[in-house]
Amino acid sequence: MMAAMRPVIIAANWKMNTTPADAGELAATIAGRIREPAVVRVICPPFVCLAAVGAALADEEIGVGAQDVHHEVAGAYTGDTSAAMLQGLASWVIIGHSERRRDHGETDERISGKLRRAVEAGLRPILCVGEVLDDREAGRAVAVVDGQLHGALAGHLPADLQAAGLVIAYEPVWAIGTGRNASGADAAAMAEAVRSSIAAIGWGAAAADVPVLYGGSVTAANIGEFLAEPSIDGALVGGASLKPDEIAGIVARAGLTANARLVETAAT
């Protein structure tokens, strides 16, 4: 597999943390600590902090992402946020995070609709998939993730999602916010399984080009275990992404892999 052709991406999911009053300052602090241009860097603050973070990052090559987008274009959906509302505020969007599947009853069908809205609006989607602990212990992790990918992607033309730059985040639910991360080897096996599923959905060989991130209790101390795996292209980072020292360490380690891939690509 041509891992050298895929970018290394570190995406920060700030979840329901920060306010418009303090998000810009945190983003500016972090930006000053993650100046590694070989790594694609993205910060996803809460909706209400997008403008402050965007302003703080105006002179930085760091993407700004939303944490969700509604599956309809507009209408009577109190409290929700459409893709059109994100124009000018975000260029990336996290879709199908397990916390939204759990707390907002997001189904694969809804998630497919969110992907459609993201693609139409030119937002780069990070689609989250991952199994709960019972499924992993029962040996169903690959089947669950395969089902999530089919549910989200099968209704789309691969060319549309390729043009949108689809990224997959493999995030075992039992590893999110728990301090219990997957092993690098297990995450790598799941990343390969993700690309096999996508190939079977109709992407064929193009599935090899889809970046797959790992997410789940990533820290500066353990990121190396994941980036040592050629099939893993970076991380979606929650809790540690709010701590400048942690995210700086994560991006610095990602820079080693990103620059090694650039050298490898130049040599081939």
Residues with a catalytic annotation lie at: 97, 171
Residue 239 touches ligand PEP, criterion: CB under 6 A = yes
Instruction: State in angstroms the smallest separation of the CB of 171 from ligand PEP.
Output: 5
Residue 217 touches ligand PEP, criterion: CB under 6 A = yes
Whole-angstrom distance, CA of residue 114 vs CA of residue 152: 9
Residue 13 touches ligand PEP, criterion: CB under 6 A = yes
Nearer to ligand PEP, 43 or 240 (CB): 240
Q: Which of 32, 37, 122, 177 binds ligand PEP (CB under 6 A)?
A: 177
Residue 222 touches ligand PEP, criterion: CB under 6 A = no
Residue 213 touches ligand PEP, criterion: CB under 6 A = no
Q: Which of 218, 227, 248, 258 binds ligand PEP (CB under 6 A)?
A: 218
Residue 242 touches ligand PEP, criterion: CB under 6 A = no
- Residues making contact with ligand PEP (CB under 6 A): 13, 15, 171, 176-177, 215-218, 236-240
